[in-house]
Structure 1
Amino acid sequence: MIEIKIPSPGESISEVEIASWFVADGDIVERDQEIAELESDKATLTLVAEEGGKIQIQAQEGDTVAVGSIACTIDTSFAGSAPKTAAAPASKAEEKTTTKPTEAKAPVEASENYQDVKISPIGKKLMEENNLSVDDVMAGLQRLTKKDIQAVVDVKDQPAPITAKTSTISREAKRTKMTNLRKKLSARLVSVKNETAMLTTFNEVDMSAVMELRKKYQKKFVETHDIKLGFMSFFTKAATEALKAHPMVNSMMDGEEIVTPDYADIAIAVQTPKGLMVPVIRNTESLGLADIEKKLMELANKARTGKISLDEMTGGTFTITNGGVFGSLLSTPIINPPQSGILGMHNIVERPVAVNGKVEIRPMMYIALSYDHRVIDGKDSVGFLVKIKEMIENPHHMLFDGKDPDSMLLGI
């Protein structure tokens, strides 16, 4: 007999909630099998069977239990045993057989020759009472009459009945207990609104250059890097370069001090079945577009399957969120504390814009920067968005630290 205890999701977390059990009490489990999902106020994690055997659950779903307490026990003497399966309940016909001996009946089911033959409930009962199979009935039909054939023709030609769709009116309401993760998220969002001087500034970006680049090189990019080239890698790289030009946007408050990292750890908001999670891509200043795409896919898959660790969601210096994937045209994203800024991407919509004195239809995206005005001044916030706009509309600038290649060539 071994005890499976609640692991620690990370520092400062003393208790978790049993979100769900993947097995039932008394089931036979295998070694390394995932048996439960745990939820803390910062992350979710899975509980794994350390050995195979028969499980006895000690904490129920919805219970809040302390880290280190016993979640379940496993009787290893049952290791390798086949899982127990409940016996199927006896049918009424079987009950009659066990209580009152009767003559064995031939099966009603048809052979391969008559698989499509439909039998009414009354006809089936009559066949059972007279010990007849479908083959017996079909063999007993000496000939088909006009009436039999006409009945088939009438059924075949009859249009399918049109039934009116009836709407049901309900006054029911469902109540669901808030998870620890949702409660903590709620508290954090309220604290951001109450404890920061949050403002939002906006700009718009012409996505033509990036879309043309993706269209032109997507196939070769996939062949080379085994991953698709998306929009998020462009914005992550552009934000990284913009943070270099406006380091205050990468800063955060720590008591009476302002901390400004000389690196960029970009957090990317990812929608999961458990809610919004924000995994962090570290040192994006050292990564190329393919590296960013691969790391983002890895972290997003972990987040959506509940396998992401607490360390992979902490320590970001700046956040990007993309409401455009859900169709959002414009929004004011909320800061992810203790960071001071968050970039919001939105839906790409074709709109008429003025280009060199002429009206053209271009794929445009609104972008938003929500920022803590205690740390970031208006000049830096607006300049940050302008820098991102310049790099997205001229992607080659990302190769030159966000600067104009012609200006660098001319030394001006």
Structure 2
Amino acid sequence: MSRLKNDELVLLDNLIYLDWDVDEDEELKDLIDNLLEDGELDRIINKTKNCLVSMCKSEWIKILKQIQNKPNLQDLKIIDLVNHKSGMRVACFVDSQDNCTVVFRGTATSKEWDDNGQGAYEYDTTEQKYALSYINSLNFDKIVVTGHSKGGNKAQYVTILSSKILNCVSVNGQGFSNEFINKYKDNIEKNKNKIVAINSKYDYVNCLFNGIAGEMHYIKTKFQVNPLFYHKANILLDDNGDLRQESNRGIFSKIINDFSTSIISDLPEDIRNLTIDGIISAIEFVLCHDKNNDKLIKIGGSILIMLTYGKYFKYKEAFAFSYIILQILMLPLLLWGDFIDIEETHSVELLNEVIKKISNAGDKIVNKINVIDNKFSPMSNTVSNAINTLINKLKAQEI
């Protein structure tokens, strides 16, 4: 049997979100048959009660039937399923020739947000270390890894640090900090060509921070009413379970990437990681719970409170400043639907309106920085310069 194709990996990236359980060496086809039995899928969905990436029952049935129709997936056996206390969920899928494919789930539980807080001051988060430990525990030497969102981030992480990885497919996975890039520069250079990134053209998460994939693909999906839903993994597939048509990268994605990276790179490490965890978790909370994206700032603030809970008096200044930075980084996200409309309609008028909104909001945010603890005052110039650069790039962008 040949290695799994990218569309087959994306199907497994979807499947891992359902909170199913299996016996060791159970065949995937038996699991799918069981999930499609009367009432079983309802039971699993009700049991999970966490992130199902905003997929309704009919969407899950579609994914399950698409898996049934993929011959390469039928004889896979599932081994080493792990539901770690941290919230990490991962499984190994093995074919008749002992080819091993490891699938990491993206963020699904509040436990993983708590892990983010514990790892907020480290180069390598606790969950990333668990992911690497899992890979190193397997009795395979040529492993394919994949994952969606934070699962994709974990897949990339283990590819950089483990010699056991043959190749990696990251689906809408976010990038890494400048510090991570510098720390693992040699590992990244050695292994980046093993990493393939498959992204929705209009997904916001994958344009955050530094990408390390040697190969990038952007998929044109169907229109999504909520622009955050471009982060969903199932929309990358057509009715047959094949990847949709490839496209170019969204014209504003690189600009937003440069903007977020320029701000993040100059932050103190504790602030940087709190902010990154806050924004990613807020996005995934909206996806998991089908909330409106206009509540992102409030949700992000609540997550920051959770990340610093029990340490408030030690981190109260860090919390206040992180919340301001969170607002800055979420500014393009709150306007993401407008950016998509601008690219699709080529509306100069709408672009000018967006630029005006960014300018007005930026002035207010810079003023907030100037009234908190003096040690953060130098950052007001950095933020102001980043916002001005963003505005100038938007003005210069041909649409």
Structure with the higher helix share, 1 or 2: 2
User: TM-score category by the smaller chain?
Assistant: under 0.3
Q: Normalising by the residue count of structure 1, what TM-score does the alignment of the two structures yield? A: 0.24
Higher strand share: 1
Larger radius of gyration: 1
Structure scoring higher RCO (CA < 8 A, sep ≥ 6) equals: 1
